[in-house]
A and B are shown apart, each in its own frame.
Chain A
Amino acid sequence: MNATITWATARRVLTQLRHDPRTVALMMLVPSLLMLLLRYMFNSEQAFSQAAPALLGVFPFLIMFLITSITTLRERTTATLERLMTMPLGKLDLLFGYAIAFGVLATLQVALAAGISVAWLGLDVEGSMWLLLLIAVLDALLGMALGLFVSAFARTEFQAIQFMPIFVLPQALLCGLFVPRDQMGSVLDWLSNFMPLSYAVEALNQVTSSAEVDGTLVRDLIIVGGCAIVALMLGAATLRRRTP
């Protein structure tokens, strides 16, 4: 690990995004607009308040998954990765550089969506707003790490997008957003235990409904963070210095 290279990579990724203001605007605004849409779809502050925490987990997860799988795929297919691999850059320098840059974006994205939900849409957060942000950012990093991992199995951007229904949709459906997990069929409930997004959503629900930081919350945080690290390591293993 080399802090200078990691930081240079983060700055490079953020500079690339700066040249693409439309993507940044979409990333920032879409989650907030969807929250607004849902608020009036439920047409009840109470129903919205119940669904909102889970959504704050699902959006950054989904968006980071997509953005990362496409950016890293692009890096793999345009030979910039091959060039970097001949240079004194560690795989983790590259990955953490991406994580810092996308982490910054995810934080802003979630802060905006959560801020708007609390200020105007009637979401009550009993616990700490910081903790809520932390969970959502961990969740975004998890999406990022998974996106990076699957980009190794796609050859085109078209294929990369097709991985979303496989890796993201089942987690979004089973995480408790649509139906509480304990009310689902027992097989699905059991399966949802193996999906990290379930724990992120559980933690977000807990933070919004109570100010207490209990064992379950800590465990959820560890699981989400741990899964993000495992996915990042798997992602690192897919970056090869030598290729066929």
Chain B
Amino acid sequence: MTNYSAVVVEGLRVRRGGPEVVQDVSFAVPTRTVTGLLGPSGCGKTTLMRAIVGVQIVAGGKVTVLGRPAGHPKLRDKIGYATQNPATYGDLTVRESLRYFASVLGAPASDVDRVISEVGLEPEAKQLVGRLSGGQHSRASLAVALLGSPELLVLDEPTVGLDPVLRDELWELFWRLADSGVTLLVSTHVMDEAARCERLLLMREGRLLADDTPAALRTQSGSEDLEQAFLHLIRTSEVVA
């Protein structure tokens, strides 16, 4: 199984400021897929992603990424991570900021123009990041994650605040990347994005409620609508608990 999983999480527990915000979560992310991480705001999506990229102090459990423990130095140029709050330098231009991150990653200089065009920021390439709109800023931050040749992309709500056309283009990009061999874990709380994932992880209040394909989730609940499927799942989990 491990050979076919880019990420394996076993019994992960994370405490943030007291309460356990990730409680005994286990799952595996198969390679070369787009896996969606869904759940209401505050359910622990960002925390889980931070644990996978190795910047979160964890209270227990095991996270294995590309066959190594999360946070291993050898993983540092193999994972592209886009934080939920855009993490780029507001007082640099889009291109200057990408050039810096490219040097840090040891990525070729030509990558800068490639990723600018992948996220559709060519017209803004020479603008200061701090002067961009919210959606443009988050694309500038997403672009950083695409630099180099990451094997795993961990994208925390990368499409929030984007217009539908751009959102569609980015999802097409995600699929192209998956086809070329990259594994993607993308968090979202938009249902129609969930439908575009190959697998879905549903979280609620720090627990994993489901780990399945969208089709299986629909069948299980007997509803064509994913939103309904999730409501069904949440209700049954509450009955069990």
Contact = CB atoms under 8 A, between A and B. Distances in A.
Given A87-B76, A88-B104, A243 B91 contact: no
B55 A8 contact: no
B103 A244 contact: no
B57 A86 contact: no
Interface in A1-43: 4-5, 8-9, 11-12, 15-16, 19-20
Interface stretch (B77-85, B172-180, B209-217): B77-85
B89 A4 contact: no
A19 B104 contact: no
A83 B96 CA distance: 16
B87 A78 contact: yes
Contacts of B144: 83
B208 to A, nearest CB: 22
A8 B104 contact: yes
A242 B16 CA distance: 13
B55 A85 contact: yes
B123 interface: no
A11 B100 CA distance: 8
Contacts of A20: 91
A119 interface: no
B27 interface: no
Contacts, number: 77
Contacts of A82: 55, 83, 87
Contacts of B85: 78-79
B26 interface: no
A155 interface: no
Nearest to A8: B103
Contacts of B79: 86
A241 B92 CA distance: 24
Interface string B47-72: 00000011111000000000000010
B183 interface: no
Interface string B186-207: 0000000000000000000000
Nearest to B88: A80
B103 A242 contact: no
A80 B90 CA distance: 10
A86 B87 CA distance: 12
Interface in B94-141: 96, 100-101, 103-106, 128
A174 B9 CA distance: 56
Given A78-B90, A86-B55, A5 B104 contact: yes
9 contacts: A5-B103, A12-B100, A19-B91, A19-B92, A78-B89, A82-B55, A88-B105, A241-B54, A241-B71
Given A4-B106, A88-B106, A242-B57, 18 more contacts: A5-B103, A8-B103, A9-B100, A12-B96, A16-B91, A20-B91, A80-B88, A82-B55, A82-B83, A82-B87, A83-B87, A83-B101, A86-B76, A87-B101, A241-B71, A243-B55, A244-B16, A244-B57
Interface of A: 4-5, 8-9, 11-12, 15-16, 19-20, 78-80, 82-89, 241-244
